[in-house]
Structure 1
Amino acid sequence: MYDEKCLQNIGGNIRFLRMACQIGQQELAEHIGISQTHMSNLECNRVKVSLKLLLRIANVLDCKIDQLLDSRAALEWVNVKRAPEPPQQEYTLEEVRQLLELLRVTSK
């Protein structure tokens, strides 16, 4: 459930997610079609953010609106986004053949 308290944190959540994505304030402002000053005012909660801007911000930051509204959801998103992906090892055809041969020999 949401209450009006989450509205007080939107600006801070936007700033937190923007910084986690390593996007500058000016860059995000340009992507969503507002001035850097207006972006600063949004992040400092000096102005109200419209649903239209929330949608644009979420699209640029590749997050859900929920993560802009809820500080815990924002933190979870950042932790997941920063989690290293497991390395994917690619083997050559020759390496696969050698491995299969080794398995064949050891299974006898």
Structure 2
Amino acid sequence: MMKHYKTMVQIGLNILYYRKQQGLTQEQLAEQIGITQQHFQRIETAHSVPSLSTLLDIADALGVPVQKLFDAR
């Protein structure tokens, strides 16, 4: 598997947490940041590695600093 898989899982879980806090669906958030729902789902489940630009877009859409997406819970 990929070298940073555990980190990608953590990022996905944090995205899920903040997305649920905002009451957004995967489709709604994906649309806000200009990616497909399928791509978003793959990011959230650590099956795809997002670009830095996409991570920044996700953090902006969720209203959290990008560092929060890396926090261990």
Q: TM-score, normalised by structure 2?
A: 0.85
For 2:35, the equivalent position in structure 1 comes to 34
Identity of aligned residues (%): 38
Contact 2:9-2:45 within 8 A present in 1 as well:
no
How many residue pairs were aligned?
69
For residues 36-93 of structure 1, what are the alpha-carbon distances to aligned partners after superposition, in whole Å with 9 as ceiling and x for unaligned? 0111101110000111011101111100111111134xxxxxxxxxxxxxxxxxxxxx
Distance (whole Å) between structure 1 residues aligned to residue 48 and residue 54 of structure 2: 12
Structure 1 residue 52 corresponds to structure 2 residue 53:
yes
For 2:21, the equivalent position in structure 1 comes to 20
Moved over 6 A (4+): none
Q: Which runs of 5+ in 1 are unaligned?
A: 73-108
Distance (whole Å) between structure 1 residues aligned to residue 36 and residue 17 of structure 2: 19
Q: Relative contact order: is structure 1 or structure 2 higher (C-alpha 8 Å, sep ≥ 6)?
A: 2
Bigger-Rg structure (1/2): 1
Distance (whole Å) between structure 2 residues aligned to residue 14 and residue 53 of structure 1: 12
Q: CA deviation at 1:12?
A: 1.3
Q: TM-score, normalised by structure 1?
A: 0.59
For 1:91, the equivalent position in structure 2 comes to none
Corresponding letter in the other structure for 2:20: M
Distance (whole Å) between structure 2 residues aligned to residue 59 and residue 35 of structure 1: 17
SS at match of 2:46: coil
